């Protein structure tokens, strides 16, 4: 396999995983407030906080995956 194809594939998987974690974190952050009928401002803040938490978790998973991939090769 070409090196550029492998790098592109790894980059696409990383971006997809990070985007998914941001979306899931944002949803999980605001879902309880929506069911309770909270104000729009509180829901927006919870969505942003959940998205940031998801991005940190996603970035950590990607970095740890890259480190274990380098160690195992």
Residuewise pLDDT in 10s, the chain (73 residues): 577 877 888 889 889 999 999 999 999 999 999 999 999 999 999 999 999 999 999 999 988 888 887 787 6
Q: What pLDDT shows up at residue 21?
A: 95
Contact 34, 43 (CB under 8 A): yes
In which domain, by residue range, is 59 found?
22-72
Residue 2 in any domain: the answer is: no
Residue 12 in any domain: the answer is: no
Residue 38 in any domain: the answer is: yes
Q: What pLDDT shows up at residue 49?
A: 96
Q: Which residue has the tokens 């509180």?
A: 42
Number of independent structural domains in the chain? 1
């Amino acid at each position: 396999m070409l090196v550029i194809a492998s790098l592109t594939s790894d980059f696409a998987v990383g971006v997809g995983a990070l985007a998914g974690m941001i979306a899931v974190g944002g949803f999980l952050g605001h879902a309880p407030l929506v069911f309770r009928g909270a104000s729009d401002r509180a829901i927006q803040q919870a969505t942003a906080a959940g998205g940031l938490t998801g991005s940190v978790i996603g970035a950590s998973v990607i970095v740890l995956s890259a480190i274990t991939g380098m160690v195992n090769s």
